């Protein structure tokens, strides 16, 4: 596989990872807001903000994990793309040096 093909594949992966990260983030944040409102509305006594957040966090553990995994996949793919682009730049510099040396 050539460097260009690797970069093209990584760009595709990054697009998919970006879309998944956006969807999981939106889902998590919407559920978080809903759960927080439900906890406040259903509370018999007034709860402190840390107590509310702790209860909501415990209920949305799976969604939060999915959000973090999707975000990490996007970051990892972005870094892999940058590394591949750097390798391609190095090859270009090497080729230019070779040409200028009369090769």
pLDDT, tens only, 11-28: 999 999 999 999 999 999
37 assigned to some structural domain: yes
The pLDDT of residue 103 is above 90: no
100 assigned to some structural domain: no
Whole-model pTM?
Answer: 0.77
| Number of domains making up the chain | 1
Mean pLDDT estimate for the chain: 93
How far apart CA 11 and CA 70 sit, in angstroms, is 16
pLDDT, tens only, 30-88: 999 999 999 999 888 889 999 999 999 999 999 999 999 999 999 999 999 999 999 99
Segments forming the whole domain that contains residue 43: 3-91
98 assigned to some structural domain: no
How far apart CA 46 and CA 22 sit, in angstroms, is 34
What does the pLDDT read at residue 31? 97
Which residues have C-beta within 8 Å of that of residue 57, sequence separation ≥ 6?
64
């Amino acid at each position: 596989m050539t460097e260009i093909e690797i970069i093209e594949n990584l760009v595709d992966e990054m697009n998919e990872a970006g879309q998944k990260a956006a969807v999981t983030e939106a889902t998590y944040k919407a559920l978080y807001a809903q759960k927080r409102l439900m906890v406040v509305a259903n509370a018999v006594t007034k709860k402190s903000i840390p107590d509310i957040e702790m209860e909501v966090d415990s209920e949305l553990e799976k969604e939060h994990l999915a959000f973090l995994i999707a975000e990490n996949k996007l970051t990892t793919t972005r870094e892999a793309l940058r590394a591949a682009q750097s390798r391609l730049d190095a090859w270009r510099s090497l080729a230019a040096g070779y040409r200028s040396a009369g090769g």
